[in-house]
Amino acid sequence: MPWKEITQVEQRRSFIHAVFLRRKTMAQLCAEFQISEKTGYKWVRRYLREGDQSLEDRSHAPHTIPHRMPAETAGYFIALRGQHPTWGPRKLAAYAAAHNEARRWPAASSIGALLKQAGLVRQRRFRKAANTGTGWGLTRPEAPNAVWSADFKGEFRLGSGPYCYPLTVLDAFSRYLLGCRALESTQTRDTLAVFRQLFRDHGLPAVIRTDNGAPFGSSSAIARLSPLAVWWIRLGIRPERITPGHPQQNGAHERLHRTLKAETARPASSTWRGQQRRFDRFRESYNFERPHEALDLRPPSTVYAPSPRAYPSRLPPLEYANGTDVRRVTSIGQACWRGTYFFLSSLLAGQYVGIEQVTEHRWTVAFGPLILGHINAITSVFEPAVYWKSSPLNPVHDSPLNPVHDSPINPV
């Protein structure tokens, strides 16, 4: 037969019963039940005051919790999360502190516990931190307008049926969202119009980083040039491209697109005007309200400043050093040197390239600061070799063009 287990409540009843029998002293009973005399008298007082129910186990939780979040504060953060469903506890805490510095707000961990208790936190898989591209041989932004990044977020259907192609442009240093436009396509004409307005509003950047797809690049042209890239070079802007198939090299921009999709396209608006209003509201909140982790939880507007380089009313001519032979590219993309024509790209038709001697038998062909290749003076053959002469941000002579790849070109 197994031993009968005795609960603590039964032990207390046995102790009280023995006390009232008065066969032993309190000290003897407490020693027998292995409790202190203080505890013994406590149970006797409770029994006399409340009866048999006083012997039941009680909660050890304190009657008052000084650090518990007040209901008013909890309601504020629940409402704020409802307005900004993609913001985490750190952003919510930073926003609250920025808008009422005198008030003592709870820690981000407490806000996170509140959101989890309210069922407002969804378990997500681990994601690597966004990469700004500096670890891939790309330009490191050290100030506003040093590097802009541009990309088309994946297209999606509006409620009325047509596809929307959102074009986003971001300042890589301050994370300021310069533009977010709902376009009907990725055609060069519409994209160029957006950049023209951005240049008028914010000035010119030193570098614009994109992927290699249209309208930013062309796989069939030398240096993967596109009409947009040619225009940027004429404006003194260096096009910079990530490696094909490696969007993580522009990780900060990809992270922006994830937030943009969650807040503006689920579900999408039914009209173009309605979708653009959503993008405008998102841009306003993203720039002026949303604390950013990379900026010590400050909004981008506190860091960004317009570029001192104004957008010119006329496209400036490309400058070449004294002694450089300047040649105009023909309508079919050819340039002439010493009576021999060689093909560059039809995208350069009407543009001027510079041909400069670097050794006794070697001449470089450049489109402004971009070297396109070399001419062998003995054979008169053009050999493609694409790299930048220098960069305003990385002033290294003959720095390689990364990651614009050489394009095979057959000399004429």
pLDDT at position 282, please?
95
Of 306, 300, 369, 292, the closest CA to residue 145 belongs to 306
Please tell me the distance from the alpha carbon of residue 234 to that of residue 192, in angstroms, as a whole number.
14
pLDDT at position 82, please?
82
Q: Which is it for the CA torsion 269, 272, 274, 276, positive or negative?
A: positive
Instruction: Say if CB 184 and CB 167 are below 8 A apart.
Output: no
Is residue 245 within a helix (H) or strand (E), and if so which, with residue range? none
pLDDT at position 123, please?
67
- Residue 126's Cα: distance from chain center in Å? 16
What's this model's pTM, rounded to 2 decimal places?
A: 0.73
pLDDT at position 62, please?
64
Please tell me the distance from the alpha carbon of residue 319 to that of residue 367, in angstroms, as a whole number.
10
Q: What angle do CA 188, 191, 196 make, to 5 degrees?
A: 115
pLDDT at position 137, please?
72
Please tell me the distance from the alpha carbon of residue 17 to that of residue 234, in angstroms, as a whole number.
100
Of 246, 240, 241, the closest CA to residue 131 belongs to 246
Q: What is the largest CA-CA distance in the chain?
A: 129
* Cis-peptide into 166, omega within 30 deg: no
- Residue 236's Cα: distance from chain center in Å? 26
pLDDT digits (tens, 9 = 90+) for 360-379: 899 999 999 999 999 998 89
pLDDT at position 395, please?
39
Q: Which residues of the chain have pLDDT under 50?
A: 1, 129, 134-136, 391-412
Instruction: Say if CB 120 and CB 237 are below 8 A apart.
Output: no
Please tell me the distance from the alpha carbon of residue 152 to that of residue 186, in angstroms, as a whole number.
8
Instruction: Name 329's bridge partners.
Output: none
Of 358, 367, 371, 368, the closest CA to residue 398 belongs to 371
pLDDT at position 353, please?
96
Please tell me the distance from the alpha carbon of residue 205 to that of residue 145, in angstroms, as a whole number.
5
